[in-house]
């Protein structure tokens, strides 16, 4: 059986690949993603990869033929591709999520695919009036089956787009009765590998989850009426696998058996005490933080969390034979532990915040292996002033951390530009550079200064406040200025590598390591120049669409 998966490098896609690899009935797997992960790393190995943009910066004329070629010979297509950020760019979200789904469906029809499994969501459901009747902190709303209305919640862009996709699927089924369509509606999806991604998209650096490792919150504030259903990524992956191999049709609710109550959040985040706040107050606070740029999440997520129905999963269990292996509480605990530890996965979508197992570009070695190659006895000689060296490395780490912060936002904000591949590659390489520099500093016995990291965070956040002539919407000049800042930062980094190379004999590191890193940085400059050339050609033009490459 040949199965193609769109969005195959993301949170759910990574888990789906693991599930498909373990199924002997699946002989061929095709992966579609804008950012293709390393084909040597598990579970991305053994997959036929295609880098295809389903809708961010492409039209149906380009996307559908490319997808059609990728889908040729597939028995089933599992469509997972979806973006949830940047919240402020509704046009981009709609192009990827709704138009992109239409492109995938059209390509399935053109390629002769006879079965499609689409990622819907609990967020596709319309508001359940019963949620407003929840009074006490342990009250449970009624569980709803798949026939509950699924047209989304207007104030939530995510829910609205999921509802629009449900309409597309209804129309597609009517127009193509020969093609079987299944739609899975999972609750919140958690796994340790996605910790960095989830924190970046929903909490940002403004919420210091890592501090939970040092102590519990005395009281956890929560919106009154909060209830949640969740599922582990591996469990939802099994549901997708079963839906594919059984050629299932129709809608399926997917979540663990337990409902998350306020006390569960309080026990995981704090000492068990919680304070229920009026939803209007929580919504106002989230709106203010989002507008200030300190919180990626907007108020629509609050509306959706308090409005969607609680789901009944009987149909998935009886027709698919699916059973959750992890509870919602255990899945959330795994996610929070991973956020505290800064773990992740070697995928462009699931990068960790602090990981020495990532491969340094062009060196074909992990961060840790590079340090070992440098010298098994890495240490500073007596000819070097260790205190000055520590300060020097700390200053370069400040710059590296700030660059990583900025590039993380750029990979989210400029997905609809023709230079997105260059931005994504620079982001990946500079993140690995930062990890290597931190590894070297710690190997010398230095403790990278938290204050320096905080300075990088504050500086990057302050940089976001520059209006560049625009107060709310993204300025056409923003990419131009950001590329110029990055070019200066990389030039400074080359100077840092050169300094360390010239002192390599006193550090126990082979100078060739830094020669390689200098070459990598020069390659980054070339990529940044491409980004800058595009931005310079479009930033001041009123006759060209800056962010679609027209």
Quickly state the pLDDT bin for 65 (edges 50, 70, 90): very high
Would you state the structure tokens that stand for residue 242, as one six-digit string?
Answer: 């079963």
Residue 149, Cβ density class (10 Å: 0-12 exposed, 13-18 middle, ≥19 buried): middle
49 Cβ contact partners less than 8 Å away, ≥ 6 residues apart: 8, 30, 31, 32, 33, 36, 39
**What residue numbers bound the domain in which 101 lies?**
2-341
313 and 380 part of one domain: no
Domain co-membership, 430 together with 521: yes
Residue 354 lies in a domain: no
The verdict on 103 and 183 lying in the same domain is: yes
Q: Residue 282 domain-assigned?
A: yes
Instruction: Write the CATH number for 312.
Output: 3.40.50.720
pLDDT at 506: 87
Tokens of 168: 């597309």
Mean pLDDT of 502-507: 88
Instruction: Kindly report the length of the chain.
Output: 550
Tokens for 95, please give them. 């192009």
Q: What is the pTM of this model?
A: 0.77
Please determine, for residue 345, whether its predicted confidence score (pLDDT) is greater than 70: no
Instruction: Kindly state whether residues 332 and 377 are assigned to the same domain.
Output: no
CB 19 within 8 A of CB 92: no
Mean pLDDT estimate for the chain: 85
Same domain for 270 and 244, yes or no, is yes
Mean pLDDT is highest, among 99-103, 297-301, 427-431, for 99-103
How big is the chain by its Cα radius of gyration, in Å?
24
Same domain, 307 and 452: no
Does residue 515 fall inside a structural domain? yes
Share of the chain above pLDDT 90, in %: 55
Query: Is residue 544 assigned to a domain?
Result: no
* pLDDT score of 454: 43
**Six token digits for residue 144:** 């709803």
- 51 and 188 in a common domain: yes
Overall domain count for the chain: 2
Q: Are residues 324 and 388 in the same domain?
A: no
Q: What b-and-e string marks burial along 284-307, b requiring 16 or more CB atoms within 10 Å of the CB?
A: ebbeebbeeeebbbbbbbbbbbbb
> Do residues 411 and 286 both lie within one domain?
no
* 317 and 427 inside one domain: no
304 and 373 fall within a common domain: no
Let me know if residue 548 belongs to a domain.
no
Indicate if the pLDDT at residue 287 is higher than 80. Answer: yes
The domain that contains 525 carries what CATH number? 1.20.1260
In a domain, 347, yes or no: no
């Amino acid at each position: 059986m040949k199965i193609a998966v769109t969005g195959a490098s993301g949170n759910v896609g990574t888990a789906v690949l693991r599930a498909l690899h373990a199924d002997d009935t699946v002989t061929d797997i095709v992966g579609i993603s804008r950012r293709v992960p390393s084909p040597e790393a598990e579970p991305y190995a053994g997959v036929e990869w295609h880098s295809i943009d389903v809708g961010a910066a492409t039209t149906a004329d380009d996307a559908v033929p490319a997808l059609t070629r990728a889908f040729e010979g597939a028995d089933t297509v599992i469509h997972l591709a979806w973006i949830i950020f940047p919240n402020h760019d509704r046009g981009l979200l709609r192009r990827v999520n709704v138009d992109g789904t239409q492109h995938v469906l059209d390509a399935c029809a053109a390629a002769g695919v006879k079965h499609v499994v689409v990622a819907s969501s609990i967020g596709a459901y319309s508001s359940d009036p019963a949620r407003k009747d929840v009074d006490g902190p342990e009250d449970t709303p009624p569980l709803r089956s798949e026939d509950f209305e699924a047209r989304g919640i207007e104030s939530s862009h995510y829910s609205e787009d999921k509802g629009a996709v449900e309409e597309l699927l209804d129309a597609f089924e009517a127009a193509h009765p020969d093609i079987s369509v299944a739609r899975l509606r999972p609750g919140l999806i958690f796994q340790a590998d996605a910790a960095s991604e989830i924190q970046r998209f929903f909490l940002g650096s403004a919420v210091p989850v890592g501090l939970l490792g040092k102590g519990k919150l005395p009281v956890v504030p929560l919106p009154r009426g909060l209830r949640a259903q969740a599922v582990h990524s591996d469990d939802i992956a099994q549901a997708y696998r079963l839906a594919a191999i059984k050629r299932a049709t129709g809608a399926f609710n997917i979540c663990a058996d337990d409902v998350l109550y306020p006390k569960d959040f309080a026990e995981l985040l704090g000492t068990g005490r919680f304070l229920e706040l009026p939803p209007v107050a929580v919504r106002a606070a989230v709106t203010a933080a989002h507008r200030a740029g300190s919180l990626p999440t907007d108020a629509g997520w609050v509306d959706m969390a308090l409005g969607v129905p609680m789901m009944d999963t009987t149909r998935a269990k009886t027709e698919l034979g699916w059973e959750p292996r992890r509870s919602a509480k255990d899945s959330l605990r795994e996610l929070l532990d991973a956020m505290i530890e800064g773990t992740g996965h070697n995928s462009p979508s699931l990068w960790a915040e602090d990981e020495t197992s990532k491969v340094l570009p062009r060196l074909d070695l992990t961060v840790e292996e590079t340090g070992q190659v440098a010298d098994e006895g890495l240490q500073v000689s007596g000819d070097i002033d260790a205190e000055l060296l520590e300060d020097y490395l700390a200053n370069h780490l400040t710059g590296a951390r700030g660059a990583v912060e900025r590039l993380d936002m750029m990979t989210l904000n400029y997905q609809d530009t023709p230079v997105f591949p260059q931005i994504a590659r620079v982001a990946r390489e500079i993140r690995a550079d930062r990890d290597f520099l931190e590894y070297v500093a710690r190997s010398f016995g230095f403790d990278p200064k938290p204050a320096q990291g905080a300075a990088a965070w504050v500086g990057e956040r302050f940089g976001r406040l520059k209006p560049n002539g625009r107060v709310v919407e993204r300025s056409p000049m923003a990419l131009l200025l950001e590329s110029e800042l990055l070019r200066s930062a990389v030039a400074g980094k080359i100077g840092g590598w050169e300094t360390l190379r010239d002192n390599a004999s006193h550090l126990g590191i082979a100078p060739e390591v830094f020669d390689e890193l200098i070459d990598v940085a020069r390659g980054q400059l070339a990529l940044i120049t491409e980004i800058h050339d595009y931005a310079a050609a479009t930033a001041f033009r009123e006759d060209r669409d800056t962010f679609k490459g027209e």
